[in-house]
Amino acid sequence: MITKMTITNIHVINQDSAYDFYVNKLGFKLVDDIPMGPDARWLTVSPPEQPDLQLVLFPVKVSKIFPKETAETLISLIKQGVFGCGVLTCNDVFATYEELKAKGVEFIKPPTKEFYGTEALFKDDSGNFFSLQPINNFGK
Amino acid sequence: MNNISRHSNSKKTPTVEYPRFYLYIRIVQAKLFIDNNYAEEIDLDNISDEAYFSKFHFIRLFKSIYGKTPHQYLISVRVEKAQQLLRNDKTVSEACFLVGFKSITTFSGLFKKVAGESPSSYAARHKEAKEQARKAPLTFVPGCYAYQHGWLENSNFEEGNI
């Protein structure tokens, strides 16, 4: 029986910029920022109230994992905003929207009433997008 | 949730009318004011005055949005910033005064209440972890990731044994 999601990846184009976005703008907590040699870095963050879930800010660059063509294709798709990385929840979607907007976060959709509840959509610094919803959309 | 193009083309989902729009803006501005000025002597009465609220109304709305009173929120921001400073090798007294506390006793008590351990214990734990990360960085990385990245093969940056 699977019990938890512990680690997941967010593919980012630049780790420095992603650090600034996730830590300084979204308010995520830094978990690890450890150099792994001259060109590599283990960089993970957690949502503020979810310390047991680590998001790996996983750089897309030409490497053992990503051959040149794959890296270029993936970067292009991320920039186009093809990838949705999930739903982030908050107590109050209007206040969170105003706060993130004031911090320069780019919203694709302001808080909008959908049949499933109020939702806003924003992009990270790479182009990945997230849904922002109040926790009560999920009956909690 | 769906992809961007589908959302951006959506025409049947009008933006929600903000409930109490101006109140939201003022409460968010007060929160951002605390975020940006936590190290200063912040008079929370002044914040509610500037937000054109009665103090009671301001505190109630702030708590309904952020789950903490403005005072509790200010303390939590100061403690969080102190944690950052302690992780970056500042002393307990340096961290205390840099984040806006006037007394080390008050700072230590509030730090322990929020973080669950004393500032000195927090600093010592992180110093040890930092040293461990320097000596044996791969012990912080799940093996599957290290393998995938090729860090196990090229681990000459690591001084310790895995």
The pLDDT confidence band at residue A130, using thresholds 50, 70 and 90, is: very high
B129-152 pLDDT, tens digit per residue, is 999 998 999 999 999 999 888 888
pLDDT over 70 for what percent of chain A? 99
B142 interaction partners in chain A (CB closer than 8 Å): 7
Can you tell me the distance from the alpha carbon of A123 to that of A13, in angstroms, rounded to the nearest whole number? 13
In this structure, of A33-37, B7-11, B34-38, the range with the lowest mean pLDDT score is: B7-11
Asked whether residue A45 carries a pLDDT value surpassing 70, the answer given is: yes
DSSP H or E stretch at residue B77: helix B70-87
Q: What pLDDT is recorded for position B49?
A: 65
**Distance to chain B for A17, nearest Cα, Å:** 19
Can you tell me the distance from the alpha carbon of B49 to that of B146, in angstroms, rounded to the nearest whole number? 54
Asked whether residue B161 carries a pLDDT value surpassing 50, the answer given is: no
Q: What pLDDT is recorded for position B61?
A: 87
The pLDDT confidence band at residue B48, using thresholds 50, 70 and 90, is: low
pLDDT, greater one: B153 or A109: A109
| CB nearest to A64's CB, from B24, B137, B150 | B150
A102 interaction partners in chain B (CB closer than 8 Å): 28-29, 32
Residue type, B3: N
**Distance to chain A for B108, nearest Cα, Å:** 22
A66-101 pLDDT, tens digit per residue, is 999 999 999 999 999 999 999 999 989 999 999 999
Strand A41-46 with A29-35, pairing: antiparallel
| CB nearest to B4's CB, from A63, A92, A108 | A108
Closest CA to A43 of A11, A70, A68: A11
The complex scores an ipTM of: 0.81
3-state helix, strand, coil in chain B (%, to 5): 65, 0, 30
The pLDDT confidence band at residue B50, using thresholds 50, 70 and 90, is: low
Can you tell me the distance from the alpha carbon of B132 to that of B103, in angstroms, rounded to the nearest whole number? 32
B14 interaction partners in chain A (CB closer than 8 Å): 112-113
Mean pLDDT of chain B: 83
What global pTM score does this model have?
A: 0.86
Q: What pLDDT is recorded for position B5?
A: 43
